[in-house]
Structure formats: structure tokens, C-alpha cells
Amino acid sequence: MTSVAKSFIAPLIEADVLLALGTDWCPCISSVVRSHPSVQPGSVTHTEMEMLSWAGLSNEAILAAATRNAALALGLGAFVGTLEPGKFADLVIVSGNPLEDISALWNVEMVVKEGIVVTEN
């Protein structure tokens, strides 16, 4: 899967394309499920991040794709996507440092939405 991911993503990285994370693909395709055992409903975002890592994106670039770049792609960059005064700030708190190991994002400890803890591990 690493070489497949690189063949699709590397040209985009080289062309300096703004990459945004999305979950617009279906984990129900049997060849995709067989290629990565963690591709299950609800985990597609994490898996897409890991695939971007396989393709050579830095963890910092992957986190930007999931936050700032996704907001920019949707035309919502003035409201969400970065932690700044005046923006909405929902947080996902994880155990571990995703800048060092992107798989740390699987270890969700707390989710805060609109200042309210909605889930806590």
C-alpha cells in the first residue's frame, strides 16, 4: 500500500497542492478493507492520515490537512481550522504526540465541543 499511496500523493506534494483531509471514500470496498485492517466505519479519518504518512507527508502537514487546510477548502478558514481568538475551537485531546507518531490520534482521551466535554476516556 505504501507504493500505491506514494504514487498518488507524491505528485501532489511536489506540485505544492494544498491537501485537505476528507472522509469521502467508502470503507466498504473489499480490496480497501483487505489492504488495511483498521479501515472500518468511524475510523476512516485515522486511516487516511496514516496513508498520507505512508505517502511521505510529515505529521505536521497531515495535521494541517485535517484542520487548517480542510477549513480553507470548505471556505470556512475565517471561522474554524486553527486555534485563534474569535474562531470556534473544538478540541480532540489524545494520549501521545501526533507530531511524533500520527497513530497517537487513535488514543482519544477527550473531545471538547463548544467548550463542553462531550466524551472523556
CA distances in angstroms from 22 to 43, 50, 70, 74, 76, listed in the order given: 12, 13, 8, 11, 15
Instruction: Please give the pLDDT value at position 21.
Output: 87
Predicted confidence band of residue 90 (pLDDT cuts 50, 70, 90)? confident
Give helix 44-54 / helix 59-66 axis angle, nearest 10°. Answer: 140
pLDDT at position 6 is 76
The answer on pLDDT for 1 being more than 80 is no
| Cα angle for residues 100, 112, 110 (degrees, 5° grid) | 55
Give the count of alpha carbons within 13 A of 90, CB side only: 11
pLDDT for the residue numbered 46 = 81
- Looking at per-residue pLDDT, the higher value among 98 and 25 belongs to 98
C-alpha cell read off for 84: 485563534
One-letter amino acid for residue 103 of the chain: S
Residue 45 in this model has a pLDDT that exceeds 90: no
Mean pLDDT value across residues 76-87: 92
